[in-house]
Amino acid sequence: MSSAWKANPAYRRYMRRFVPATAIYLLFIALATWLIPDNAAISIVSVGISLLPGLAILVWIWAMARLLIELDDEYLRMLEIRKFLVATGLTLSICSVWGVLELFVPVPALPAFMVFPMWCVGLAAGSLYNRLTVGDAGSCAL
């Protein structure tokens, strides 16, 4: 892990937001799994409980946006933005190409909830891209 991760307060703030959101996400997923039986009918209760993990995901996304805003080191901010661009490009490409494939060929549908994890994996690709082009992967906080 780079020294910038330890030194820059923006990364520390990010982790203070990210870790609790992750714990809440896991808690709500467990709660939904426990409370909502398979093949449950749509109801206010089942929809309400199902939306709770999504709230934690929104906090994750907000925390990432705040990191970009609060990162006052312009070089580190550039590295993070490059990672975001690679992740976004890969995710859009994969989802779009697979989506068109689904229209014409009987391939398994891509679950919508996989898009965000796919984007997060794309951040790792972004780090690799940074390493190969700039020689610096950047922080592994994201």
Partner 1 sequence: MTNRLKVLRAMRGWSQQDLADRLKVSRQSVNAIETGKYDPSLPLAFRIAETFGMAIEAIFLQDVDAPQS
Q: Which stretches of the chain bind partner 1, using CB under 8 A?
A: 2-4, 7-8, 72-76, 78, 134-136
Q: How far is the CB of 64 from partner 1 (least distance, A)?
A: 19
Q: For residues 38 and 74, which CB has a smaller minimum distance to partner 1 in the complex?
A: 74
Q: How far is the CB of 73 from partner 1 (least distance, A)?
A: 5
User: Where do we find the tokens 């550039």?
Assistant: 78
Q: For residues 49 and 123, which CB has a smaller minimum distance to partner 1 in the complex?
A: 123
Q: How far is the CB of 85 from partner 1 (least distance, A)?
A: 16
Q: How far is the CB of 68 from partner 1 (least distance, A)?
A: 15
Q: For residues 4 and 64, which CB has a smaller minimum distance to partner 1 in the complex?
A: 4
Q: For residues 37 and 135, which CB has a smaller minimum distance to partner 1 in the complex?
A: 135
DSSP string spanning the chain? --HHHHH-HHHHHHHHHHHHHHHHHHHHHHHHHHHS-TTPPP-HHHHHHHHHHHHHHHHHHHHHHHHHHH---HHHHHHHHHHHHHHHHHHHHHHHHHHHHHHHS-PPPPPGGGHHHHHHHHHHHHHHHHHHHTS----S--
* Residue 13 structure tokens: 């703030």
